[in-house]
Amino acid sequence: PPPGSAPEEIQAVVRALQDTLRRIREESERPHLLVSGLAHELRSPLQNLMGETQVTLLRERDPAEYRRVLESQLEDLGQLSGVDDNLVTLSSLEEARRRRTVEHFDLGEEARLRLEREHKLAQRRGIGLEVVAQGPLQVEGGRESLLLALRNVVTNAIGWSPPGKTVEVRMNASAEGLEI
């Protein structure tokens, strides 16, 4: 008989079992999504590094050409480092999710400390990066989650900005909350 025609006690057990199976399915899909996302993120910089190296080694080049290739490869290695940072952060986020860690911290201070790699990336691309934190920016939440999101937004802004421009990150506290 269909579950709706079973006694209420049995229907409750069926619903609980269905809910448990749904959560198990979601948890088992998560690693697959992570692996496919990482493969996608790694593919482009790895292909760039290999292709550029192979072309460069086809013939002798002057030192300026080798320097240009190395600078380009340094940028791709930075992307790979970013993927690695994201993986480490995601691992720690999963652990924090299980422990439900909430921290109280100043996002402005953390941003100034933690956006060093993005400053270097901006410099290599001839782009300015300005981080302005107005007032105390005390937040309560997942420190690594917030910083990962901020770093990803800043990295994307740098990637889409033309040389000579400046990426501005402005943070301030308002009556409505924190504005970035």
Average pLDDT over the chain, rounded to an integer: 84
pLDDT of residue 147: 87
- Contact (Cβ atoms closer than 8 angstroms) between residue 37 and residue 61: no
- Contact (Cβ atoms closer than 8 angstroms) between residue 179 and residue 137: no
pLDDT of residue 63: 93
Write out pLDDT tens, residues 69-102: 998 888 888 878 877 777 776 676 666 666 666 8
Give the helix/strand (H/E) hosting 70: helix 63-99
CA distance 21 to 26: 9
158: pLDDT confidence band, cut at 50, 70 and 90?
Answer: very high
**Locate tokens 């939440």: which residue?**
141
State mean pLDDT over 107-129.
Answer: 91
Instruction: Answer yes or no: is pLDDT of 54 > 80.
Output: yes
pLDDT of residue 12: 82
Of residues 84 and 34, the one with the higher pLDDT is: 84
CA distance 42 to 56: 21
Instruction: Answer yes or no: is pLDDT of 180 > 60.
Output: yes
Write out pLDDT tens, residues 122-151: 998 999 999 999 888 999 888 887 888 898
pLDDT of residue 7: 80
Instruction: Answer yes or no: is pLDDT of 166 > 90.
Output: yes
171: pLDDT confidence band, cut at 50, 70 and 90?
Answer: very high
pLDDT of residue 103: 87
